[in-house]
Structure 1
Amino acid sequence: MPGDDVETRIRLAMFRHLDQVSAKHPDGVPSDVINSFTFDGAPMRLVVQPGIRKPAILSAALTIRTTYTRPGFDAPYEDQFGGDGSLRYKWRGTDPAHPDNRALREAMVRRLPLAYFAPVTRGVYEAIYPVYLVEEDAGSHEFAVDLSEYSHWAGDGDEVLLERRYTRRLTKQRLHQVMFRPRVLRAYESRCALCRLAHAPLLDAAHILPDHHEHGDPVVPNGLAMCKIHHAAYDANILGVRPDRVVEIREDILAEIDGPMLKHGLQEMHGSVIFLPRSRRDHPDRDRLEQRYEQFRSAA
């Protein structure tokens, strides 16, 4: 893409905008904040109904989004993962000549990067970018979307095709990992489960069981919202969380004498009960807590 091409300039400006708003909203970016984007002084909406955005000055789609669906309800568009791990993004309707579908096809043919807005909750999204449309299935009325971080390939040689298949297997993994943090933070109302610190940029989504564990799925019941100090202490087995959600601090740490961070940030957490999400389905899983607590006890 030429450096002075409007397609390039708008996409680069959009990515810079998304960098800024995503950093300020680690628990998901509200649609009105996403839509505060301007280009050359003019406002340009990025999140629109029904989900495919192609500004009039562009020839190809700029953004796509998946509609938020409440748990237990049917989604209006069945975006889902294919066997190769790529996201399947549905056409607008069934007419291949619909302007939105032509805009998606143009982005695919020209290998233009887009932003994908994955729903955290109603009106709140996690921006994932750049993403690429890599295939079209006219029979199923859908495009394959590669969300992997290494998807900007060129050419069609055997080596490139192998890389393409590999990176597309990372798509589902990447989406689930990317969505883990905002969903955990939002479940815990952007507060540390231990000290109640309510500054989202200072919070992490701590895995109870790690990625490599057979039950280490990136789902909210396998997560705890923690400030960065408590997350580091949890990973280092300085603190543990019992299955009954009571915090324990390792005995040698309790015996130490140091400054106020040790005293108030760690030692005073001993025996406290963690803060829980409002929804029971988001509560930390007791079996996972028990397995992780046994690891803490072994280290202690």
Structure 2
Amino acid sequence: MNKNFDSAIRLAAFDWLKEQTNIHGDVLPRNILAQDFYYNNQRVTLVGPQGIWKPKVIELPISITTIINGPYNDSDEDNGIFIYRYRGNDPNHYANVGLRKLMVRKIPLIYFHQIETNRYLVTWPVYLVGENKNNLSFIVVADNIVQTADIDVNTISEKQVEYRRSYSTILAKQRIHQNSFRERVLTAYDEQCTFCKLKHRELLDAAHIISDKEKEGQPIVANGLSLCKIHHAAFDTNILGVSPNYDIKVRNDILEEVDGPMLKYGLQSLNEKKIILPRNKTDWPDQDRLSTRYNKFLKL
């Protein structure tokens, strides 16, 4: 294998993914990933029908994919690692052999996590740092430094690398969980702000009713509201509240203010209006959580 060519392809793939996430956000639609890209007039595919994917132009896999309810029980562990299962049960299957070579040669690849149907959160670079043949799996960690054939990282101690990768992997897991929550909440609310009906996905957030730092703050749809960024900020700072009966309330001092059209139409006009509820009643905001949050709002 031409190490320099392989490194160049992988770096080009990372650059392409950076461009796409800058345009579309952290979670990329499958149709964007399926567009592929070209390097020196050669087509490079990043995803395919198999979870372990190798484009024709290079010898070893460029990506791994975990899908929701897939045939393999991939998982993330509490100790800063991902577990990625073999393809099938044969350690010597060509796909598993390819991953093993990546591990031995310390070559980076891309990890696609399916968040919702046809939507993927992308993590790169990731490295395979161990293998458990009894468990038919590899150990995967994220990093924030791309180690390739033409980059010397030997001046960094193994302990420093271990700490950096553990931290990077923890951050990657947080991104996966946060984006999974966002995708599920936005989908439940038909990708619109529950206060004002704004439908631009790039301007929408999934707001927690009960903070994720609290016991009842689980990342479930019933603990979420789809809000545009300004109304998310207003909700988080208790300028706006939501009653257990799904009424929007504006804080009294804000109602009494006199200012421009943003205050009047963007905030004050929402007072006493009903929020837009999801079509599926099981996705409606939990009334007990709303009551807890609303009581805090009333005390201000």
1:144 aligns with 2:139: yes
Compute the RMSD of aligned alpha carbons: 2.8
Q: Counterparts in 2 of 1:212-223, with a 5 A limit? A: 212-223=213-224
Counterpart residue type for residue 12 of structure 2: A
**1:280 — aligned with what?**
281
Deviation at 1:211, TM superposition (A): 2.9
Deviation at 1:244, TM superposition (A): 2.1
**2:150 — aligned with what?**
none
Deviation at 1:249, TM superposition (A): 0.6
CA distance in 2, matches of 1:289, 1:149: 39
CA distance in 1, matches of 2:16, 2:168: 26
Q: Counterparts in 2 of 1:1-300, with a 5 A limit? A: 5-26=4-25, 28-40=27-39, 41-69=41-69, 75-147=70-142, 157-158=158-159, 160-161=161-162, 168=169, 172-299=173-300
Deviation at 1:150, TM superposition (A): 8.1
Counterpart residue type for residue 87 of structure 2: R
TM-score if structure 1 supplies the norm length?
A: 0.85
Question: SS of 1:5's equivalent?
Answer: helix
CA distance in 2, matches of 1:104, 1:127: 18
Question: SS of 2:299's equivalent?
Answer: helix
Question: SS of 1:226's equivalent?
Answer: strand
Question: SS of 1:120's equivalent?
Answer: strand
CA distance in 1, matches of 2:160, 2:14: 29
CA distance in 1, matches of 2:197, 2:26: 15
Structure 2 unaligned spans of 5+: 148-152
Deviation at 1:149, TM superposition (A): 5.8
Which moved further from structure 2: 251-260 or 112-121?
A: 112-121
Counterpart residue type for residue 47 of structure 1: V
Which moved further from structure 2: 165-174 or 246-255?
A: 165-174
Counterpart residue type for residue 274 of structure 1: I
Contact 1:61-1:106 within 8 A present in 2 as well: no
Structure 1 unaligned spans of 5+: 70-74
CA distance in 1, matches of 2:280, 2:196: 20
Counterpart residue type for residue 59 of structure 1: E
Over the matched positions of the two proteins, sequence identity in percent amounts to 41
Aligned length: 292
CA distance in 2, matches of 1:107, 1:10: 14
TM-score if structure 2 supplies the norm length?
A: 0.85
CA distance in 1, matches of 2:299, 2:237: 12
Question: SS of 2:124's equivalent?
Answer: strand
Contact 2:142-2:166 within 8 A present in 1 as well: no
Deviation at 1:183, TM superposition (A): 2.8
Counterpart residue type for residue 272 of structure 1: K
Question: SS of 1:11's equivalent?
Answer: helix
Contact 1:27-1:182 within 8 A present in 2 as well: no
Question: Aligned in 2, Cα 1:278/1:151: closer, same or farther, shift over 3 Å?
Answer: farther
Question: SS of 1:284's equivalent?
Answer: coil
Deviations 1:63-85 (A, max 9, x none): 1112233xxxxx41111233524
Shift >6 Å, 4+ stretches = 150-156
Question: Aligned in 2, Cα 1:293/1:110: closer, same or farther, shift over 3 Å?
Answer: farther
Deviations 1:272-292 (A, max 9, x none): 222223333433232322222
CA distance in 2, matches of 1:175, 1:151: 20
Contact 2:114-2:120 within 8 A present in 1 as well: yes
